[in-house]
Amino acid sequence: MSKQLVMIEPHSLTAPVVRSVEIEIMELVLDSHVVVLVKYKGGNGNLLENHIVRIEGDEYNAWGDDDNYISNLVLTKLGLTELNLDGSIQSTEEPATEEPATEETKTE
């Protein structure tokens, strides 16, 4: 039998799972905006799909010199959560600091 194309009723397949993203600046216009390409990758590193995120206005102005800001903002905009190397969820909150205990001294 040679190759044959057979038309069938629509049949859904299980979608692949995204395990990592690669974030790349595609366009940067100073004092205006940045366009970011986000590559969704599977468990073996194969490219699944691309997303474009445009950051402008107050979000762009808040960037400063910390590139982690852009990564965190892009992940937030796409509804993604960063993991630590051990697979636990990356905390985006500052750790709570406790005030050191002080003893009150009585003066007489």
pLDDT tens digits, one per residue of 2-17 = 777 777 787 776 778 8
Domain ranges of the chain: 20-77
Residue 58: closest CA among 33, 79, 35, 92? 33
Q: Would you place residue 97 in the very low, low, confident or very high pLDDT band (cuts 50, 70, 90)?
A: very low
Residue 74: Cβ within 10 Å count: 19
Measured between alpha carbons, how far is 103 from 100 in angstroms, rounded to an integer?
10
What residues have CB less than 8 Å from 78, skipping those under 6 apart? 21, 38, 51, 53
Q: Given pLDDT bands bounded at 50, 70 and 90, which one contains residue 31?
A: very high
What pLDDT sits at residue 23?
95
pLDDT single digits (tens) 34-93: 999 999 998 888 999 999 999 999 999 999 989 899 999 999 999 999 988 777 777 655
- Residue count of the chain: 108
pTM: 0.69
The span from the CA of 59 to the CA of 1, in Å, is 59
SS3 category, 72: helix
